[in-house]
Amino acid sequence: MLLDGGAAYAGALALHAVSEAGAPRWTFPLGAELVGPPAVDLAGRLFVALADGRVLALRDAGDRAEPIWSLRVEPAPSGAPVVGPGGALFVPSGA
């Protein structure tokens, strides 16, 4: 689970956004299992790593998630993405 800006983000085969009050805001189907919690950068973009080898960037548009980009990595991600210095995105992969 990730808490950011009054919202909580969690999921397994879909990413769910929940308001600070606990009300559902949106659900974004992922098509594969998350391999760790999402990450968020200073611009508010969400990053998720999936067991099928994809890394997705999403924007929380309030009532829905909007895809920004999708990237396939090999070997598949093995852990949660991390936003590093300068906004660099790191995704662990491999065994």
Q: To 5 degrees, how large is the angle CA 21–CA 79–CA 44? A: 40
So what's the pLDDT on residue 12? 84
Pairing outcome for strands 7-11 and 2-4: antiparallel
Q: How far apart are CA 81 and CA 38, in angstroms?
A: 7
CA-wise closest residue to 16 among 31, 1, 36, 33: 1
CA-wise closest residue to 24 among 34, 9, 4: 9
**0.75 cut: is pTM over it?**
yes
φ/ψ of 85, rounded to 5, equals -55, 140
pLDDT tens-place string over residues 30-76: 999 999 999 999 898 999 999 999 999 999 998 999 999 999 999 99
